């Protein structure tokens, strides 16, 4: 291995005590390859198996904690005990290759698709639709709804523990329900769950408490609890970077194992103000990195890219597109084969890259998403 890449393969220990063998994780990415009921499929197992040999940890695609919280066709489910055997196959498949297995858990809220939930109206903090085309006006959640979802996150965590996962990542980003409670665009409530910035944090903190309670009750071994954030929203009444830094201050007090920053590019500045060019990841690292580990992500492809990002002080990095195009990314760095790392997606490479049919079709048909050749 090139000695210059040594920082990439240094081990890292989370606050919980779980150790990663290196600083690179596989980022959570939708693959739409589970069974209709959310059960894990053989194609999905093959896909994760191929990508779990080198990275320190795999964060799975989002798994919905409630049947009505689903936004993608054929996504992983963690809403019922009947799904535990399949989830156990998934965790074991990842771990046998040498990576830690982290299950991302979420509820889509107003982003849920009625076509996938039996025609049910989506739920959200307030009856405010997303500004995306074709969005459905959600039903404002009752107190009972809120308590049910909080409980569902705890139950999902219990199932993840029983299925053998090393941790869970709370999906507090990407416009889904946990973020919807923090956002002034989607949360117009005036009760204990909304209004001020502090009250908009109440639901995310209740989710964290529910997850941590499940860990305390059911985990026999150290168990990772992470939280993913989206720093900003484009909507005029949406989340600002200042809001997120306030949230990060509070998250840093929750004894989490990490905060995972969800951005398109590691070095990208504000999506709200083009004159603000400071990396959102670095702003969060500077604000809270001395109190809680930060995971950066976004547009990192080569070992040089990853090294440069690690040199900022961000301790962990998640690779997304790079791991899709090159399942053996870490192995090739270790074996002096970095010049052989794929940076494009050949149309003939589905079998070699072990990509499920549904995901493969998305990769080829979404214009500009991947460098297809």
Q: Which residues are catalytic?
A: 176
- Contacts for 109 with CB less than 8 Å, ≥ 6 apart: 69, 122, 123, 124, 125, 138, 176, 177, 180, 186
Q: Could you give the CA distance from residue 189 to residue 143 in angstroms, rounded to a whole number?
A: 12
Q: What is the secondary structure of 74-129 as a DSSP string?
A: T-EE-SSGGGHHHHHHHHHHHHHTT-EEEEEEE--GGG--GGGTTTPPPEESSS--
User: Is 111:125 a contact under the CB 8 Å cutoff?
Assistant: no
Which is it for the CA torsion 141, 144, 147, 153, positive or negative?
negative
Coil, strand or helix: which one is 356?
Answer: coil
From residue 101, give the alpha-carbon distance in Å to each of 70, 183, 221. 22, 30, 14
Widest pairwise Cα distance in the chain: 58
Q: Could you give the CA distance from residue 349 to residue 371 in angstroms, rounded to a whole number?
A: 13
Specify the DSSP class assigned to residue 302.
S
Q: Could you give the CA distance from residue 244 to residue 216 in angstroms, rounded to a whole number?
A: 28
Helix axes 202-218, 143-162, angle to 10 degrees: 30
- Residue 158, beta-bridge partner list: none
Structure token digits, residue 76: 């992983």
Q: Could you give the CA distance from residue 112 to residue 110 in angstroms, rounded to a whole number?
A: 5
């Amino acid at each position: 291995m090139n000695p210059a890449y040594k920082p990439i393969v240094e081990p890292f220990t989370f606050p919980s005590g779980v150790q990663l063998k290196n600083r690179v994780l596989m980022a959570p990415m939708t693959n739409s390859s589970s069974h209709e009921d959310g059960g894990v499929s053989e194609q999905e197992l093959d896909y994760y198996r191929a990508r779990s040999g080198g990275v320190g940890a795999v964060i799975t695609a989002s798994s919905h904690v409630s049947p009505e919280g689903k936004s993608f066709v054929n996504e992983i489910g963690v809403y019922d005990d009947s799904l535990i055997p399949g989830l156990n196959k998934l965790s074991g498949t990842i771990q046998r290759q040498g990576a830690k297995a982290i299950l991302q858990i979420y509820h889509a809220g107003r982003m849920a698709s009625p076509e996938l939930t039996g025609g049910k109206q989506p739920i959200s903090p307030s009856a405010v639709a997303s500004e995306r085309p074709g969005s459905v006006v959600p039903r404002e959640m009752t107190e009972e709804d809120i308590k049910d979802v909080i409980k569902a996150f705890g139950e999902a965590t219990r199932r993840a523990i029983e299925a053998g996962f090393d941790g869970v990542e709370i999906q507090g980003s990407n416009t889904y329900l946990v973020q919807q409670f923090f956002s002034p665009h989607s949360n117009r409530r005036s009760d204990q769950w909304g209004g001020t910035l502090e009250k908009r944090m109440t639901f995310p903190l209740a989710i964290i408490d529910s997850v941590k309670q499940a860990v305390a009750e059911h985990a026999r071994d150290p168990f990772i609890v992470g939280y993913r954030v989206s720093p900003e929203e484009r909507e005029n009444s949406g989340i600002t970077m200042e809001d997120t830094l306030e949230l990060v201050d509070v998250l840093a007090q929750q004894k989490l194992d990490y905060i995972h920053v969800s951005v398109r590019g590691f070095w990208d500045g504000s999506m709200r103000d083009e004159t603000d060019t400071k990396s959102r990841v670095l702003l969060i690292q500077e604000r809270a990195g001395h109190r809680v580990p930060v995971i950066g992500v976004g547009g990192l492809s080569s070992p040089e890219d990853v090294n440069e990002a690690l040199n900022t002080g961000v301790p962990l990095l998640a690779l997304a597109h790079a791991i899709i195009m090159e399942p053996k990314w870490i192995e090739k760095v270790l074996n002096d084969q970095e010049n052989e790392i794929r940076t494009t997606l050949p149309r003939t490479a589905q079998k070699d890259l072990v990509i499920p049919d549904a995901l493969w079709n998305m990769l080829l048909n979404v214009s500009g998403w991947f460098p297809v050749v």
